[in-house]
Chain A
Amino acid sequence: MQRAVRHAVPRAVLRRVLEALSVALILATICFALLHAIPGDMALRIAVGQLGTENMSPAAVEQIRDAEMLSRPLLVQYFDWLKAVATGDIGRSFVSGRPVAEELRQAGGYTLRLAVIAWLLSYALALPLGIAAGLKPDGAIDRATAFAAAAFSSLPTFLIGIALISIFVLALNLLPPAGYRRPEHLVLPAITLALGLMAPSMRVIRDAVAEVQASAYMTYAHVRGFGKAKAFIRHGLRNASVPIVTFAALQFAYLMDGFFVVETLFNFPGIGNAMVSALLARDVPVVMGCALLIGTTFAAISLAADLICMWMDPRLVDEGHGSR
């Protein structure tokens, strides 16, 4: 057992690190290919992003073309980028001229803050509701949450956001409609994301809890004299957590999608916003930097989820157990 742990954990870390690298690179490469596949003059579009539609001059366009060496063959541009990345330099933004790493740190910081709050908020709602529903499948809470979950997951994020704005900003005037500087600016974006996140996770939690409740070991624990609450804490939480943690990590993908919508809607200067405007402005280094960041973050979260699951479920550590 001990030896198995020693092998399984580094193997998981190694696998995820390799995965992170490849996912990030593939993602960045796809972005590069897509950006260059869109028709149009790159330098011109960058100039629009930099100077605005009405303020451009042919000289400015040519200056950008020269400065960013856009007339080089695409493959050369790509491999130069790869070479720079290998040395840890992910370039400068075509539009702002600042190092991409700095822009990402700034935007990523905002997004991380939003993500953590949204995620915590969603689980603060989903955990009690999902557990309550799972403890009594087909009960009133289960039916109500199933309905709510279906409603929220079928609503697009931007609709939820607009509805929240109408209620809390326009009707009640309780919260600011956009911004990022004060803590209350985070409330609406976080709730918008959280509601979207909550709906599916509530069902996953409910199913996990219901499955654990119906399991033979739970019955056995009851027979052994453990009360409902005690048995659930002793056996239920840990067993139900494995699918929940796995799902929570997967939800990062949904979150990313949510960032694009929510950050644009609330004018929140995070990664989603940065990537959308970089895409529009053909800011290749920023787009590719975002792709690298998203890819590695996804793998890092998956790794964290793997490690947590391994800690919680010893079966995942002993890889030979399946053949027994």
Chain B
Amino acid sequence: MSRNLWFSAFVTAMLVSPFSVFAQEELRVVEPFQLQRLDTQTGGFQLRANGVTETLVQTNPEAAVLPALAERWETSADGLKWTFFLRPNVTFHDGTAMTPEAVAASFKALLPTGNLIKNAKVKDVSAGDGTVTFTLEQPFAPFLAYLLDPAVPVLAPSSFASSGELTAIVATGPYRIEKAELPQGLDLVRHDSYWGDVAKIERVRVDGIPNPETRVNIALAGEGDLVLEIPTTAVSRIDRSGETHIVRAPVPRVVMMLVNVKKPQFADVEIRRALSFAVDRQAIARTIMGNEDLAANQYFPPAMKGWHFEDFKPQTLNVAEANRILDELGWKPGADGIREKDGTRFAGMMRTFPQRAYLPVIAEALQAQLKAIGFDLSIQVGESSLIPEAQNDGTLELGLGIRTMIYQVPDPVARLTSDFATDEPSTDATGATGWKSEEMRAAVAAYNLTTDPEARLPLQREMAEILQNELPVIPITFTDEKYAVSERLEGFVADPVMQTRPLNHLSFKD
């Protein structure tokens, strides 16, 4: 570090100067994630959300798949070949034209590092005349949704070294990366020859700030234009501040109680129903999530058309029924009010993690509510990997986790597969533990082969019904996303499927 820099840093730090030239011009986005590596595998979601990377298709707020870099597509009769007709006149951030060869090469390079897209089992990608064709090993109906795996965007040839290694992110989105300071943030600058709506704001700064209180302070101080994941407790403070206001958007995310079905006290589905009856979801949604409508009476939230069913018998509070079930099963209250059967205490340790601030609070609420049916709940708050570790070594009793159903891939089946229809070890605090359902697996397999949306509906209903009846996880509440949006910002629309924040549509009021 040069002496000059030191000196000036010191002198200017001494002077309080709240105004900076940059601050007025750039759009300041604050999100909770810190980008660890500038690659698509670890940072793909952030890169796409902030408008750097794109792929052949995109989604609308209803999670429907729309054209993007491809104008249209065709599927072969056997369902094995998917051909995409590329949009002409698309240029990469480096000014080169997007050719079919470049697109095919990009997929070839990135598919091995892809995440969910691996389930589509792509055999080959080839370039044609203005087209790119994917050849699959087997028919895979939800392929379009899986194409949206953020780890596999379309990148320019200049992104790769001659060895094939990814060395830079040169993509097609409305913003290009000017400078990356990892893991703190990204400086983005407008891609002037963008094929769609060219961004109105020239510069964007994205900061990754994991601490929610710090994000709240930034919102309160008016230091961020778009601050993501505002905790419920800070909503009214921010709304009052005058600098920013809160925009709420429902998101397809459920908070659920994970149950190890292998444990004797949870093996019987009736017991899981009893536990579910004991949960006062309305109270939790109202007091902790700040919105009673978020109570989760089934696994999928109402916004997810075709997966949420109004006619399902809702899981609601009914302590009397819960106690009746338990009495019938022979679980007798002991001296301390906790039930017992054959020497097994009706008790469990619930593991959860504090990254989502509401989780430990909900765990405590559950502790109090389950006491009413003679269940002794203890709580362990630790790192988020605590739950999958316990799942894998079989020590998990209960867990409290979250699942974003269409996280990254806008088709819930992707996550249903990894959470409820796999033998793979658990890696995230989301799925079933010790629970196995052949019906579920059959439904998933059938779904993956069914292209016709109408024909898919009964399969979707079947899957949702299995979850509702078998309760491998007990849904507690849905969540909404709370954005703090500065008053000077115009044009922000929250994306309920959480695929992107259309930064190119934003502008500053004069």
The residue that A179 contacts in the complex, of B15, B207, B353, with Cβ under 8 A, is B207
Give complex CA distance A264, B127 in Å: 49
- CA separation between A305 and B355, bound complex, in Å? 42
Q: How far is the CB of A34 from chain B (nearest CB, A)?
A: 15
Asked if A267 is an interface residue, CB under 8 A from chain B, the answer is: yes
Chain B hits for A54, CB < 8 A: 402-404, 407, 428, 430
| B450 interface residue per 8 A CB criterion | no
Bound-state Cα–Cα, A190 to B13, Å:
9
Q: Is B335 an interface residue (CB 8 A)?
A: no
Q: Is B321's CB within 8 Å of the partner chain A?
A: no
With a cutoff of 8 Å between Cβ atoms, the chain A residues found around residue B1 in the complex are 109, 112-113
Contacts of A177 in B (CB 8 A): 214, 217-218, 220-221, 223
Interface centre among A54, A61, A109, A165 (most CB of B within 10 A): A54
Q: How far is the CA of A99 from the CA of B8 in the complex (A)?
A: 29
B427 touches A61 (CB 8 A): yes
**Chain A residues whose C-beta falls within 8 Å of the C-beta of B77 in the assembled complex:** none
A56 within 8 A of B: yes
What residues of A have a CB within 8 angstroms of the CB of B209 in the complex? 178, 267
Closest chain B residue, CB of each to CB of A112: B1
Q: Mark B432-463, 1 if CB is under 8 A from A, else 0.
A: 00000000000000000000000000000000
Give the total of A residues in contact with B, Cβ under 8 Å.
54
Whether B12 is near chain A, meaning CB under 8 Å from some CB there, is yes
Of the stretches A39-47, A137-145, A225-233, the one at the interface is: A39-47
Q: In the complex the two chains form, is A44's CB within 8 Å of B389's CB?
A: yes
Query: Which residue on A lies nearest to B241, using beta carbons?
Result: A170
Residues of A172-206 whose CB lies within 8 A of B: 173-180, 182-184, 186-187, 190
Cα distance A120–B223 in the bound complex, in angstroms: 28
Secondary structure of the B contact surface, majority rule: loop
Q: Does B182 belong to the interface (CB within 8 Å)?
A: yes
Q: Known contacts A169-B221, A175-B18, A187-B16; decide if A48 and B33 are in contact (CB<8 Å).
A: no
Determine if A117 is an interface residue (Cβ-Cβ < 8 Å).
Answer: yes
Query: Residue A49 at the B interface, CB < 8 A?
Result: yes
User: Shortest CB–CB separation between residue B182 and chain A, in angstroms?
Assistant: 6
Q: Let me know if B36 is at the binding interface, CB within 8 A.
A: yes
A96→B37 contact, CB < 8 A: yes
Q: Which of B20, B222, B385 contacts A44 (CB 8 A)?
A: B385
Instruction: Tell me if B13 and A187 are in contact (CB < 8 A).
Output: yes
Query: A269 to nearest B CB, angstroms?
Result: 5
- Inter-chain CA distance A97–B392, complex, in Å, is 27
Task: Given A95-B36, A109-B1, check contact A182 B20 (CB 8 Å).
Answer: yes
User: Known contacts A50-B42, A54-B407; can you find 6 more A-B pairs with CB under 8 A?
Assistant: A48-B383, A50-B36, A57-B427, A98-B182, A176-B218, A187-B16
Contacts A/B (CB < 8 Å), 16 sampled: A40-B385, A44-B388, A48-B383, A53-B384, A53-B429, A59-B118, A120-B10, A173-B221, A174-B16, A175-B18, A176-B18, A184-B16, A184-B17, A187-B13, A267-B184, A269-B183
Question: Which A residues are closer than 8 A to B by beta carbons?
Answer: 39-41, 44-45, 47-61, 95-98, 109, 112-113, 116-117, 120, 165, 169-170, 173-180, 182-184, 186-187, 190, 264-267, 269, 277, 280
